Structure 1
Amino acid sequence: KQTRSTYQVRVYQIPGKPEIVDPASELMAGVPNKVGTGLAKGGYPAGTLNWHLDGKPLIPDGKGVSVQEETRRHPETGLFTLQSELMVTPARGGAPHPTFSCSFSPGLPRRQALHTTPIQLSVWEPVPLEVQLVVEPEGGTVAPGGTVTLTCETPAQSSLQIHWIKDGVPLPLTPNPVLLLSEVRPQDQGTYSCVATHPSHGPQESRAVSVHIIGSLEGQGLGTVALALGILGGLGMAALLIGAIIWQRQRRQGEERKTPENQEEEEEEREELNQSEEPEAAEGSAAGP
């Protein structure tokens, strides 16, 4: 008998030197920045990519350092392509010129890691964003029904989003550097401030200004008093008028009652006179010739 032996031959291909593609030109302190993407091709089996800062391993922590990795395998050759994107947030006041590099460790035994060419970047500190709130008329004092204009002034209006706050509560308004209060009412009084948000600076709030209506409270008090006096005066006039009408009606009714009584008294007096005249006439006729 002839025995056939099957041997499986696995070919290991040494990967080429890794590289950093799409590197950044500079970094901004205090905000996340993309350093670049490490790339390694041709390794079999797949290895690992690791980042270094100033020659020391850079460990992702999910806060100041994050890495997004991707591994792809060619369907025909079985070779791998590894990618690793590095994001860092440089600390304010940290190293001004950090050096980054990426290394590829093959999955083969006794193979040394391969390193990319280091890149050195510059870190710049952003200038604090100054936000100023201007109010017109000056001082924020206006008469009832007047107009108040609040303007949020910043160094770069085009790249900012301006939001408004009244008495510590955000206003549900479309972002706009100008807030116009027309026909001011008592409910418009309060403390206003604006918040400017920039991708590289974060939110910055302006100083607060107050909007006050001249004589709003005094005017309301005087108006209330005047209204009360007017109501009382009207009620008094109405009472006098009703009293006069009732008095006139009672007077007329009294006169109407007195008229018949007077007529009866006059008739009685006439009858008495007639009766007294008749005896005198009879006596005169008897004393005649």
Structure 2
Amino acid sequence: MNSYSLTHLVLVLLALPFPPTPPPLYCLPGAVGGDRNITARIGKPLVLNCRGAPKKPPQQLEWKLNTGRTEAWKVLSPQGGSWDSVARVLPNGSLLLPAVGIQDEGTFRCRATSRKGKETRSAYQVRVYQTPGKPEIINPASELMAGVPNKVGTCVSEGGYPAGTLNWHSDGKPLIPDGKGVSVEEETRRHPKTGLFTLQSELTVIPAQGGAPHPTFSCSFSPGLPRRRALHTAPIQLTVWEPVPREVQVMVQPEGGKVVLGGTLTLTCETPAQSSLQIHWIKDGIPLHIPPTPVLLFHKVKLEDQGTYSCVATHPSHEPQESPAVHVIIGETSLQTPGILGLGSLEGQGLGTVALALGILGGLGIAALLIGAIMWRRQKAPENQEEEEERAELNQSVEPEAAESSAGGP
């Protein structure tokens, strides 16, 4: 064949009309064909095609199913039966489930024999699903405190099947529970009548100090069946408060920093509770060349120990913090010549103690004088009474004698 004949043949073929495209086969929602695993939404109709089934009755076919509604294999034929409300065979040999439910999960098989005696088999593994409502976060926190556990909120998803999972996100990134900074408490409940699931997930976090001041949290529901889109809650934004750090300070014993020569002095550097802190000491603005220690102990203080002390707390990941300075004063004890009361010279709080003692002694002396005067008066009163009685008796005896002498005269 030459090139002219080949070109002519190609043109003739192109001029021929194409066969019409066959119209699409109409199927109810959920209709499938072939051997495969399929999913169907709860409450919706499902049609399973039987391959090789004769298009017109009489048909030689049977459906066998093993689901949650049966204890063993159940056989359905085109003649129908008591299962028509649950599943029935259509005139074309397909199996119709008017409203698929959780109990319809299982295996469906069809065996059809053509008019020529050819046998065809079909098999399906059916699973059902129910998409829950959009999850939500209930009882959300209003703010968080850095460095301590905080409950962010509880994510709830209701009315789903299969159960699925809840996942937390922070600033768009998944949060993975580690039992330290992130922990989750989950609860799954199943409705006794509908069989649908309710999921709850409570999130607790420990925000890091110096982290994001306004983190955003959200929760998502991932269905138990693949190829289903995750559902997300509305995000919540919280404020993280940093705890006010406790200042580094020096505690002095004895209080006030006044200690006698040869006495005992203790300086303690109080810092925030961090195990990796190192404490260094400064005296009169000059670092002391001693090993890091939180306590300075002077068993017998000397005059050269007097001065200004402060401590510096250092941390590998923080700037050093220096305490306010404290003053240590070394004093000497001395006695002066006793005065009128035989008391030496005292300073400070000793004068107050002496004054208090003198006041008490003076009060006791005055009370003793008053009691002595009262007792003396009581003892003196009976003596005066006896003298008056004797004088009265003498006066009575003198009066009769005077009367007799006057009566016996000339």
More helix by share: 1
Specify the TM-score bucket, using the shorter chain as the normaliser. 0.3 to 0.5
Which has the higher relative contact order, 1 or 2, with Cα contacts under 8 A spaced 6 or more apart? 1
- Report the TM-score when normalising by structure 1: 0.47
- Report the TM-score when normalising by structure 2: 0.35
